[in-house]
């Protein structure tokens, strides 16, 4: 899996808008991009599972433990025959380093945090590539949909991580308030279908932060440009 | 025969194989709770146990891997019932088989990250395991198996919970990654050192890797462990095929590899994920009745942090002495005022300077030392991977320190007084700590080396009675002040040689006392240290920031053939190495304003110092620092600079202020504080970058900030708000879900009579939203948060 920690994305997370900045800062950003690659023992796990349909055509997973609650996820998977359920984490070393910098070097703390956000996205991209390579031609994919998007409750994190045996496989835990720990972790569901995916789902429309989103105000989005 | 007797018999012990794999085989779904089978499908469970028994397993593992009340929460299952039923199933299978077997209470990880990284506290982990153990005792199991553990700290809590609540033998295995460490970073050497200290009956590895990948790690464990070693490998590496988990190697490969482990000296063998009764049958058919192959293990003196160990007696060991208030005004203030930043800085600087371990002493009148030492230990362990030396004259503080320390600690100190030994040895034994032992007793410090040696010998013998091995004792033959007791200084040095030769114990000294009352103290210190090292000193407790001492050690390491080919020495002292250290030369080229605006934080302290020669501290603040800070703040507001630049500048100012404060306090002037502010990320939220940025900027502007951290309970905020009479409370929450918690916090504050204005901030908040949850102010960014704080204080 190729991890490059795309610098333009990192700068975007850092709030960069073409300001002039020093070479020293540029060095620090590059250093931290290397540092995170070095320390992260990133891990991921996923399952490709068939989607069943109930009498109303609502998708569910047969095991019954991984609920697909809410309208948004149902719309998202409306044409999917199966889905990838994935979890990825950059691991404890990155978490520790973030805590370290939060006490010792705030600049690096913020930069490492942004690099972490970008890196975990790249790991998820890598999982997508892996799945696509495995399944071969003839399939189309939805984008990755995570608990907490729209009306898909964040409490599903607990079930999802348990479903994937996430603690044992990749050391992923969920806090009492349903946040993933280590922080730089992602869980997501991606539909697999035989017809092209047209998103009816406006990510922003379903987002609770829509009205006051700093990215939207600037005409950008919080998610990666290429989606 | 009790399991412990069986373990000591020297005969191989053969465990069963995987439970989860078998349950899946019988239809358990992904994500389904295995423990439910103990209640609802006992017949399947019993059949699995019976199959393993018939395959020759001598120990059955109960189906209780996740039977803790954290994992069972919301399932309707109770810990005690699940465990009692699990043991019953195993017992019933044993009865039916007509064979003899032991029942091991299986305990897996709780599934939460431990503090400080996660939210699970040491005491919570302890309580969760205690509940399991008590149920296991009630159900009558024969031993406890802690397995698939990844966090040595959780394991420590679990072992204490077992040992303090039962007499059951404890077997403890961790799971390792291909990089040779557990998920939280523990290597085999460190695991062995910590677990042996805690007194487990056997230790080893399980799961995660297959037998092939396990070899290297197992070899390490066998090299270090002086107690029985256990292995339960997976049937290779797990792979997911068609939605099902399969394992990468064949049964025969597994058996071949596993049998080889017995030849290496493993005492207990079983199977983990992917293994079945058929695997176990093949193993037992060869190994039943076999003897454990004897191993030679050289016992060494080692102390450990959770991720690494320092061996004492090989290369020279430096213990940093700076975290100790004795004679250090700033450290004293830092401890009394909870200025954690200062303590962190001291730890970081000592580590950078080359310390191998850090001494931690918080002894001050008016301080709750047992409580404080735990706080400081936890704080340092969050940012440093060095082992710690727990230093106190208060036995309770030593005990609490050892208990909550993550790793194998070093106690500083015990001495030859009976009272001291009787108080400290039980602690050292229980927590597996090494100790610095001082050669003084009821009659004081003897004058001669021979007499001091006698005390060392007495301490070693007495420790032996407590079951403390001699490698856990490090003798300190006590440095006296040469200006007062000149003829006794050589006695200290001679004692080192006697202790090493005749007792084979390691030695340590705190060096700097020797020079009190003389001019040119560094010269005396350095020379004395060199004399002591030559006589065999293993550890020096010194200030690693002292260039003279560190250079003497560097030179000694070359001359004593410790620094092979003088590699370290050349790296440090060659022209290139020196140039590297002296590269900061362009100080005068910049003004302080430029340094701040440019965010050149390495330069600001020196520059400020330079300016103090010609300017008053407050003049620098008002004429240089504040204007620069305002330029940066305005630039940020206008979008001319972006956030990392603002942070860099704020940290640059922070470094300047350290120097300014020193100057102010030296001149006796009292620093005028703008106002007092609490900052906290609310309960349930673990994001703290925004809060930390607000903090540094507020401190820049002269506010006194009480940073309560992340995931902070309303009660804690109420407590501090009342105790410190703060002017403003700043709350941060990043998630829509935790804004709810923010609202609840504000309600509780008001209910408890805290009327201080509340400011909120965080990515998902707006002015309207902030108003809705009862906040008085909304700070959209760090700059605005500071403006609000000014406004509030000016109003008040």
**CATH number of residue B644's parent domain:** 1.10.1240.10
Contact B737 A93 (CB under 8 A): no
Q: Determine which of B121-125, B150-154, B699-703 has the lowest per-residue pLDDT on average.
A: B699-703
Nearest-angstrom CA–CA distance, A166 and B170: 27
**Within this chain, do residues B163 and B86 fall inside the same structural domain, yes or no?**
yes
We report the CATH number of the domain holding residue B351 as: 3.20.20.20
Q: Does residue A15 belong to any structural domain of this protein?
A: no
By C-alpha distance, the chain B residue nearest A176 is: B684
pLDDT for B537 beyond 50: yes
Contact between A95 and B29 using a beta-carbon 8 Å cutoff: no
Residue B437 preceded by cis peptide, ω within 30: no
* Same domain flag for B709 and B599: no
Asked if B383 contacts B347 with a C-beta cutoff of 8 angstroms, the reply is yes
**pLDDT number for residue A88:** 98
Q: Evaluate if residue B240 carries a pLDDT over 80.
A: no
Domain count, chain B: 5
- Bridge partners, residue B706, by sequence: B678
> Is A110 inside any structural domain?
no
Q: What domain range is A146 assigned to? A: 42-92+115-217
Q: Which of A60, A86, A110, A164 to mutate to test the interface with B (most CBs of B within 10 A)?
A: A110
User: What is the Cα–Cα distance from B604 to B139, expressed in whole angstroms?
Assistant: 66
Quick one: chain B helix, strand, coil %, rounded to 5?
50, 15, 35
pLDDT at B582: 52
Same domain (yes/no): B16, B83: yes
Number of Cβ within 10 Å of residue A2's Cβ equals 7
In 3D space, the residue among B290, B350, B294 whose CA is nearest the CA of residue B324 turns out to be B350
Task: Give A201's DSSP letter.
Answer: -
Q: Contact at 8 Å (CB) between B651 and B696?
A: yes
> Cis ω on the peptide bond leading into residue B116 (within 30° of 0)?
yes
* pLDDT over 90 percentage in chain A: 70
- Domain membership of residue A150 (yes or no) is yes
- The CA–CA distances, whole Å, from B81 to B40, B139, B455, B586 equal 12, 10, 54, 72
CB spacing of A107 vs B599 below 8 angstroms: yes
H or E stretch covering B246: strand B244-247
A23: in domain: no
Within-domain flag for A106: no
Q: Is residue B28 domain-shared with residue B75, that is, in the same domain?
A: yes
Q: Read out DSSP for B57-124?
A: -SEEEPS-TT-STTTTTTTT--HHHHHHHHHHHHHHHHHHHT---EEEEEE---SSPBTTTSSB-HHH
Contact criterion met (CB < 8 Å) for A110 and B644 = yes
Question: B766, B793, B764, B792: which is closest to B779 by C-alpha?
Answer: B766
Residue B297 within any structural domain of the chain? no
B464 to chain A nearest CA, in Å? 39
Identify the bridge partners of residue B476 per DSSP, sorted by sequence position: B438, B508
pLDDT at res. B119: 84
Chain A residues within 8 A of B207 when measuring between CB atoms: 168
**What tokens were used for B265?**
């000296």
pLDDT reading at B580 higher than 70: no
- Find the CATH number of the domain harbouring A206: 3.40.109.40
Please say if the pLDDT value at position B510 is more than 70: yes
Query: Alpha-carbon distance B13 to B284, whole Å?
Result: 10
Q: Do B433 and B353 fall into the same domain?
A: yes
- Helix H or strand E encompassing A84: strand A82-89
How far is the C-alpha of B603 from the C-alpha of B614, rounded, in Å?
A: 18
How confident is the model at residue B227, as a pLDDT? 97
Task: Find the range with the poorest average confidence among A84-93, B487-496, B737-746.
Answer: B737-746
Q: Do A41 and B29 touch (CB under 8 A)?
A: no
- Contacts of residue A47 in chain B, CB cutoff 8 Å? 30, 240, 243
The C-alpha atoms of residue B779 and residue B781 are separated, in whole angstroms, by: 5
Q: Is residue A127 part of a domain?
A: yes
- In the 8-state DSSP scheme, what is residue B669? P
Burial of B323 (0-12, 13-18, 19+ CB in 10 A): buried
In chain A, which residue's Cα lies nearest the Cα of B20? A165
Chain B hits for A182, Cβ within 8 Å:
113, 117
So what's the pLDDT on residue B444?
Answer: 95
Q: Which residues contact A18 (CB under 8 A, 6 or more apart)?
A: none
Residues B535 and B563 in one domain: no
Over the stretch B438-472, which tens digit does the pLDDT of each residue have?
A: 999 999 999 999 999 999 999 999 999 999 999 99
Do residues B392 and B588 touch, judged by C-beta distance below 8 A? no
Kindly tell me if the per-residue pLDDT of A227 is higher than 50. Answer: no
Decide which of A57 and B584 is more confident. Answer: A57
Tell me: do B112 and B247 sit in the same domain.
yes
Asked which of A29-33, A126-130, B588-592 is least confident by mean pLDDT, the reply is B588-592
Q: Where are the beta strands (DSSP E) in B644-695?
A: 676-681
By CA distance, what is A106's nearest residue in B? B647
Please write the tens of the pLDDT for every residue from B66-81.
Answer: 999 999 998 999 999 9
Q: Does A163 touch chain B (CB under 8 A)?
A: yes
N- to C-terminal Cα separation, chain A: 19
Q: In whole angstroms, what is the distance from residue B628 CA to residue B90 CA?
A: 73
What is d(CA B674, CA B37) in angstroms, rounded to the nearest whole number? 63
Instruction: Report yes or no on B395 lying in a domain.
Output: yes
Q: Are residues B569 and B609 in the same domain?
A: no
Give the closest residue to B152 by CA, choosing from B123, B181, B119.
B181
Nearest in space to A150 (alpha carbons), one of A89, A81, A62, A209 = A209
Out of B617, B647, B666, pick the residue that ends a domain: B666
- Pairwise CA distance, residues B203 & A107, whole Å: 42
**Cβ–Cβ gap B764/A209 under 8 Å:** yes
Q: Which domain holds residue B551?
A: 546-582
* Closest-CA residue to B408 (of B159, B206, B181, B116): B159
C-alpha–C-alpha distance, residues B635 and B770, integer Å:
26
pLDDT of residue B583: 52
Question: Tens of pLDDT along B125-175?
Answer: 999 999 999 999 999 999 999 999 999 999 999 999 999 999 999 999 999
Of A47, A65, A179, the CB nearest to B32: A65
Position A73 in a domain: yes
For residues B37-66, average pLDDT: 97
In a domain, A104, yes or no: no
Once rounded to an integer, what is the mean pLDDT over residues B651-661? Answer: 92
Q: How far is A116 from chain B (nearest CA, A)?
A: 13
Q: How far apart are the first and last CA of chain B?
A: 76
Q: Which two tokens stand for residue B771?
A: 């108003």
Residue B341: band (very low, low, confident or very high) from pLDDT cuts 50, 70, 90: confident
Q: How does residue B795 score in pLDDT terms, banded at 50, 70 and 90?
A: confident
pLDDT of residue B236: 82
pLDDT at B322: 96
B620 and B748 belong to one structural domain: no
DSSP string, B472-536: GEEEE-----TTT-GGGHHHHHHHHHHIIIII--EEEEE-GGGGTTSSSHHHHHHHHHHHHHHTT
Q: Which token pair is B545?
A: 């920031």
According to the model, what pLDDT value does residue B738 have?
Answer: 85
Residue B704's CATH number = 3.40.50.280
Q: Do residues B335 and B241 share a domain? A: no
Is residue B349 within a helix (H) or strand (E), and if so which, with residue range? helix B340-353
Question: What is the residue-averaged pLDDT of chain B?
Answer: 93
pLDDT at residue B273 above 70?
yes
Q: State residue B243's pLDDT score.
A: 62
pLDDT at A193 over 90: yes
pLDDT at A226: 47
Per the domain annotation, does B176 fall within a domain?
yes
pLDDT of residue B747: 96
Domains held by chain A: number: 1
Which residue bears the tokens 């008040």? B796
Residues from chain B that touch A93, judged by Cβ atoms under 8 A, are 185
Residue B305 lies in a domain: no
pLDDT, averaged across chain A: 89
Quick one: B224 and B255 in the same domain? yes
Report the SS3 class of residue A79.
coil
Residue A225 pLDDT > 60, yes or no? Answer: no
Q: Tell me the count of A-B CB pairs closer than 8 A.
A: 161
Structure tokens at B259: 């049998």
CB contacts under 8 A, A 114-143 vs B, are: none
- Alpha carbon of A196: minimum distance to chain B alpha carbons (Å): 24
Same domain, B266 and B353: no
In this structure, is residue B462 part of a structural domain? yes
Quote the pLDDT of residue B576.
Answer: 65
């Amino acid at each position: 899996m190729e991890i490059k920690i795309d610098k333009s994305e990192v700068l975007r997370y850092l709030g960069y808008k073409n300001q002039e900045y020093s070479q020293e800062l540029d060095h620090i950003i590059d250093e931290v991009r290397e540092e995170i690659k070095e320390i992260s023992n990133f891990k991921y796990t996923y399952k490709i599972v068939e989607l069943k349909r109930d009498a109303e055509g609502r998708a569910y997973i047969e095991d019954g433990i991984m609920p697909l609650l809410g309208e948004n996820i149902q719309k998202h998977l409306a044409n999917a025959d199966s889905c990838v359920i994935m979890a990825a984490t950059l691991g404890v070393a990155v978490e520790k380093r973030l805590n370290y910098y939060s006490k010792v070097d705030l600049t690096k703390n913020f930069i490492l945090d942004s690099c972490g956000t970008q890196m975990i996205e790249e790991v998820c991209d890598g999982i997508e590539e892996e799945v696509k390579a495995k399944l071969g031609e003839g399939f189309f994919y939805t984008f990755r949909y995570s608990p907490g998007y729209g009306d898909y409750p964040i409490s599903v994190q607990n079930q999802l991580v348990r479903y994937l045996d996430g603690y044992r496989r990749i050391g992923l835990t969920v806090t009492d308030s349903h946040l993933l720990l280590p922080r730089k972790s992602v869980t997501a569901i991606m539909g697999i279908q035989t017809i092209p995916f047209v998103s009816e789902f406006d990510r922003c429309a379903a987002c609770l932060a829509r009205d006051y989103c700093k990215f939207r105000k600037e005409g950008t989005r919080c998610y990666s440009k290429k989606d | 025969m009790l399991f412990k007797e069986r373990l000591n018999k020297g005969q191989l012990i053969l465990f069963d194989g995987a439970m989860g794999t078998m349950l899946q085989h019988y239809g358990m779904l992904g994500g389904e709770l295995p423990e439910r089978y103990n209640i609802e499908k006992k017949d399947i469970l019993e059949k699995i146990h019976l199959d393993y028994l018939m395959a020759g397993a001598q120990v059955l593992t109960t189906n209780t891997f996740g039977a803790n009340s954290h994992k069972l929460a919301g399932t309707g299952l109770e810990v005690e019932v699940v465990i009692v039923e699990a043991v019953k199933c195993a017992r019933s299978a044993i009865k039916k088989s007509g064979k003899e077997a032991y029942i091991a209470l299986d305990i897996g990880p709780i599934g939460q990250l431990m503090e400080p990284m996660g939210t699970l506290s040491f005491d919570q982990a302890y309580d969760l395991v205690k509940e399991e153990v008590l149920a296991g005792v009630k159900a009558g199991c024969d031993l406890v198996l802690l397995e698939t553990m990844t966090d040595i700290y959780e394991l420590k809590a679990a072992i204490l919970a077992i040992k303090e609540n039962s007499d059951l033998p404890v077997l403890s295995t961790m799971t390792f990654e291909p990089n040779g460490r557990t998920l939280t970073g523990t290597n085999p050497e460190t695991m062995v050192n910590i677990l042996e200290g805690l007194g487990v009956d056997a230790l080893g590895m399980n799961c995660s890797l297959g037998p092939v990948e396990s070899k290297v790690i197992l070899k390490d464990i066998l090299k270090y462990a002086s107690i029985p070693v256990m292995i339960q490998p997976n049937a290779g590496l797990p792979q997911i095929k068609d939605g099902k988990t399969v394992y990468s190697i064949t049964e025969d490969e597994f058996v071949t590899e596993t049998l080889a482990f017995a030849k290496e000296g493993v005492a207990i063998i079983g199977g983990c994920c992917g293994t079945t009764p058929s695997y176990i049958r093949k193993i037992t058919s060869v190994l039943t009745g076999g003897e454990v192959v004897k191993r030679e293990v050289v016992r060494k003196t080692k102390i450990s942090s959770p991720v690494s160990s320092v061996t004492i007696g090989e290369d020279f060991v430096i213990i940093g002495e700076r975290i100790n208030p004795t004679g250090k005004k700033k450290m004293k203030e830092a401890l009394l005022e909870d200025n954690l930043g200062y303590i962190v800085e001291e730890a970081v600087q000592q580590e950078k300077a080359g310390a191998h371990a850090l001494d931690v002493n918080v002894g001050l009148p008016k301080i709750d030392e047992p409580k404080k030492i735990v706080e400081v230990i936890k704080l340092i362990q969050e940012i440093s991977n060095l082992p710690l030396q727990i230093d106190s004259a208060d036995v309770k503080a030593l005990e609490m320190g050892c208990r909550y320390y993550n790793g194998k600690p070093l106690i500083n100190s015990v001495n030859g007084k009976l009272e001291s030994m009787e108080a400290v040895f039980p602690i050292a034994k229980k927590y597996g700590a090494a100790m610095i032992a001082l050669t003084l007793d009821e009659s004081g410090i003897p004058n001669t080396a021979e007499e001091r040696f006698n005390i060392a010998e007495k301490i070693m013998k007495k420790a032996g009675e407590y079951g403390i091995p001699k490698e856990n004792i490090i003798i300190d033959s006590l440095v006296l002040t040469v200006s007062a007791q000149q003829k006794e200084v050589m006695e200290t040095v001679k004692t080192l040689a006697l202790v090493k030769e005749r007792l084979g114990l390691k030695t340590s000294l705190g060096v700097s006392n020797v020079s009190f009352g003389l001019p040119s103290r560094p010269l005396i210190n350095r020379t004395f240290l060199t004399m002591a090292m030559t006589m065999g000193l293993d550890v020096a407790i010194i200030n690693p920031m002292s260039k003279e001492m560190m250079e003497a050690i560097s030179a000694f390491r070359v001359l004593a053939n410790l620094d092979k080919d003088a590699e370290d020495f050349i790296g440090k002292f060659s022209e290139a190495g020196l140039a590297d250290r002296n590269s900061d030369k362009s100080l005068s080229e910049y003004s302080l304003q430029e340094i701040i605006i440019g965010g050149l934080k390495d330069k600001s302290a020196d520059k400020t110092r330079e300016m103090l020669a010609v300017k008053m501290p407050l003049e620098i603040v008002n004429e240089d620092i504040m204007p620069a800070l305002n330029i940066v703040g305005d630039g940020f507001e206008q979008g001319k600079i972006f956030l990392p630049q603002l942070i860099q500048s704020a940290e640059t100012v922070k470094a300047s202020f350290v120097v300014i404060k020193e100057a102010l306090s030296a001149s006796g002037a009292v620093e005028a504080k703008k106002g007092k502010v609490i900052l906290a990320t609310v309960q349930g939220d673990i994001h703290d970058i925004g809060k930390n940025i607000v903090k540094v900027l507020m401190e820049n502007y002269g506010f006194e900030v009480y940073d309560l951290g992340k995931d902070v309970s309303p009660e804690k905020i109420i407590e501090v708000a009342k105790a410190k009479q703060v002017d403003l409370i700043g709350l941060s929450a990043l998630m829509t879900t935790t804004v709810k918690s923010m609202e609840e916090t504000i309600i509780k504050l008001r209910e408890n009579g805290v009327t201080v204005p509340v400011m909120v901030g965080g990515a998902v908040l707006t002015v309207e939203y902030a108003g809705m949850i009862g906040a008085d102010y909304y700070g959209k960014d760090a700059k605005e948060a500071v403006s609000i704080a000014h406004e509030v204080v000016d109003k008040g």
